[in-house]
Amino acid sequence: MSSSAPRSWCAWSCVVAAAIGCQAMVSSALPRQRLVVMLPSSSGDATLRDRFLQGYAVGEATVRACDHPVPAVRWIALRPDQSPLEQLPLVSDQHLVVAPPSADLRAFSDLSQQHGLSVLLPYQRGESIDTLRGLKGRDKLWPLVPSIQEDVKATVEATLKAGWDRAMVVADPSALEATLSMAFVDHYEASGGLVESYEPTPVQQVDPTDGQRLDRLRKDMTWSWVGTVVVADQPDGPLATRLRREQRDGAFGGGAPWTPNWVYLSDSSTLRDLPQVPWQQLGLEHPARGEDWLAFAEAFNRRWGHTPDLLAAAGYDTARVLALVEAAPLPMSDEGLPDPMGWVSPDQDAVDLCSALRQRQRGESLRLKAAASDFRLRGGMTPSGQAAAGLLMETPSDPMKADGKRADAATG
């Protein structure tokens, strides 16, 4: 354990011990671990840590089920104001570091270059992943989960499959979903959709507290008679709540209350309990993920009694990757250096973990059947996965509303 670890380490390590067992915590005190896992240590990150560690524990159980030992890991708590370079001294036999979810990629790029390490990025989905392209040494940074762009593509495909090929995109500038609005526009237009806008940009930015701006939006919607509105706001956010109330009252949209239909850009977890409305609603059913998802979800539910998310799947895959890294001597890179991820072969058929461990021990390359992605891993690039989007709930039938056929789309 690093001597510069925060005083809250004891309490934090209890969380790790509860999730992955005392044996793993004891092993983390040994001096020569080649594997390091960093997790955020602030109190606001407790839920994030728990979800990752719960998935990690399920992943370790699958390693043991293959009669294979789990590797010794050094756990490091990283405060938001700390650099990973401060916490990890240069040690010759360390080869792989697991970064915290949503890590500062520039900081871990610096760590990789200065220490000659490969870095596993277990959960990096949003705008930060775009910075990978501009980082030196990005071939040593290994994302484990698909980009959120995969989710946007699935939503676009479902929207067009429903016959909704003309839309207005409306965003609350303060909402997280607003960061996805231009990605939706780009994919939608590239696939043949038409975005209507009476602003200089294709996304109508609407502050829900600005009465004049809302009035302009109402007039634009009535004038255009557009049949679909893409709402870049939380389903219970102030903009979505205001527009939903007005459409119910017949004050928003040319065909209110039956149209426009709504498309959400929100995470699927926020779309499970949408209010009943007269119009159709479409959005993400699940984010992009891997073919081992169902087996993982069943095992996770048996262990923890609730449904996992993609962050938990990232923890699950991380535990399995670390076991594969340590299952045999590391392959050598073209530069003649140990390469902890050199055994990954993204174009091979995926195999189960027990087969993967046997292949690693024989010195063979492989692609693992994973829960969080298709495991077509390449340094500096995000893998893919299968996302699904479609109509989110039944809508009362009415001759004025759009075609009610089921509209589902999946990417992968």
- The pLDDT tens digits of the residues spanning 269-298 come to 999 889 999 999 999 999 999 999 999 999
CA 269 to CA 52: how far, in whole Å?
17
Residue 16 confidence (pLDDT) above 60: no
Residue 378 confidence (pLDDT) above 70: yes
Q: Rg of the Cα trace of the chain?
A: 24
Runs of H (alpha helix) within 116-272: 149-161, 181-190, 211-224, 238-248
The CATH code belonging to domain 163-279 is 3.40.50
Residue 156 confidence (pLDDT) above 70: yes
Tens-digit pLDDT profile for residues 341-372: 999 999 999 999 999 999 999 999 999 999 99
Sequence-distant (6+) residues with CB within 8 A of 25 are 13, 16, 17, 75
Give the rounded percent of residues in the chain with a pLDDT score beyond 70.
Answer: 86
pLDDT band at 408 (very low <50, low <70, confident <90, very high): low
Hey, what amino acid is at 187? H
Sequence-distant (6+) residues with CB within 8 A of 242 are 208, 214
The length of the chain is 412
- Average confidence score pLDDT of the chain: 88
Burial class of residue 2, CB neighbours in 10 A (0-12, 13-18, 19+)? middle
Tens-digit pLDDT profile for residues 248-270: 999 999 888 999 999 999 999 99
Give the pLDDT score at 393. Answer: 75
Give the pLDDT score at 137. Answer: 84
Give the pLDDT score at 405. Answer: 40
Sheet holding 118-121, edge to edge: 73-78, 35-40, 96-98, 118-121, 141-143
Model pTM greater than 0.85?
Answer: yes
Cβ atoms 373, 321 nearer than 8 A: no
Residue 53 confidence (pLDDT) above 60: yes
Sequence-distant (6+) residues with CB within 8 A of 174 are 207
Distances (CA, A) of 86 to 5, 296, 380: 10, 35, 24
Cβ atoms 101, 63 nearer than 8 A: no
Of residues 337, 344, 295, 346, the one with CA closest to residue 316 = 295
Residue 8 confidence (pLDDT) above 50: no
pLDDT band at 35 (very low <50, low <70, confident <90, very high): very high
CA 372 to CA 393: how far, in whole Å?
26
Give the pLDDT score at 127. Answer: 78
Give the pLDDT score at 95. Answer: 87
Residue intervals in the chain for CATH 3.40.50.2300: 9-147+290-386
Topology of domain 9-147+290-386, per CATH? Answer: Rossmann fold (3.40.50)
Cβ atoms 34, 88 nearer than 8 A: no
Distances (CA, A) of 233 to 116, 176, 202, 243, 315: 42, 7, 16, 11, 28
Give the pLDDT score at 4. Answer: 33
Buried b (16+ CB within 10 A) or exposed e, 327-343: beebeeeeeeebbbbbb
CA 97 to CA 325: how far, in whole Å?
12
Tens-digit pLDDT profile for residues 196-212: 998 899 999 999 999 99
Tens-digit pLDDT profile for residues 108-122: 999 999 988 999 999
